[in-house]
A and B are shown apart, each in its own frame.
Chain A
Amino acid sequence: MSGYLAGTLAILCINLIFAYGIFVSAAAGQINLGGAGFQAIGAYATGFIAGTLGLPVWFSIPAAATISAFIGFLIAFPVLRTRGVYLVLATFAFGEVVSGFLLHTDTFGGAMGMVVPVHIELWVLMLCAIVVTLLTFYLMATRLGLAMRSINDDEEATVVIGVNVRAVQVAAFTIGGAFTGLSGALYAHNYGFVEAQYFNALLSIYVLLFVLIGGAQTAWGPLAGSLFFTVLPELFRVGGAWRYVIFGVLIVLMMVIRPEGMVTRDLVRKLSPRQWWARRAAVGS
Chain B
Amino acid sequence: MVGAPRGGGELIVTTALSVTNVTKRFGGLTVADNVSFDVPQGARMALIGPNGAGKTTLFNLISGVHKIDAGSITLDGKEIKDLAPRTRVHAGLSRSFQNIRLMPHLSVIENIMLGQHTQASGLGALLQPIAWQRKSIWRERAIESMHSAGIKVDPDASVGGLPYGVRKKIEVVRALMSRPRLLMLDEPAAGLNPRETAELSAFLKAVAWEGLTLLVVEHDMSFVNDLCEHTVVLNFGRLIYNGPTAGVHVDPQVREAYLGTRKSDKKEPSHVA
Contacts and interface: CB of A to CB of B under 8 A. Distances in A.
Given A142-B126, A143-B126, A265-B158, A161 B105 contact: no
A143 B130 CA distance: 6
B117 A143 contact: yes
B217 to A, nearest CB: 15
Interface string B98-141: 00010111110010011101101000011111111000001000
A160 B175 CA distance: 10
B105 A141 contact: no
Interface string B65-97: 100000000000000000001100110000101
B132 A159 contact: no
Most buried by A among B97, B125, B131, B158: B131
Interface residues of A, number: 30
A164 interface: yes
Contacts of A189: none
Given A141-B131, A143-B128, A146-B131, A162 B117 contact: yes
Contacts of A65: none
Contact of B113 (A146, A154, A164): A146
A149 B104 CA distance: 10
A152 B156 CA distance: 19
B170 to A, nearest CB: 13
A271 to B, nearest CB: 13
A89 interface: no
B174 interface: yes
B63 interface: yes
Interface in A172-211: none
B130 A159 contact: no
Interface string A263-285: 00110010000110010000000
A156 interface: yes
A143 B110 CA distance: 9
A141 B129 contact: yes
B231 interface: no
Contact of B89 (A140, A162, A265, A275): A162
B178 interface: yes
A145 interface: yes
A98 interface: no
A142 B128 contact: yes
A161 B106 contact: no
8 contacts: A143-B117, A143-B127, A143-B130, A145-B131, A150-B103, A152-B105, A159-B85, A160-B64
Interface of A: 138, 140-147, 149-150, 152-154, 156-164, 217, 265-266, 269, 274-275, 278
Interface of B: 63-65, 85-86, 89-90, 95, 97, 101, 103-107, 110, 113-115, 117-118, 120, 125-132, 138, 154, 156, 158, 174, 178
- 5 tightest A-B CB contacts, nearest first: A162-B89, A141-B131, A153-B103, A162-B118, A141-B129
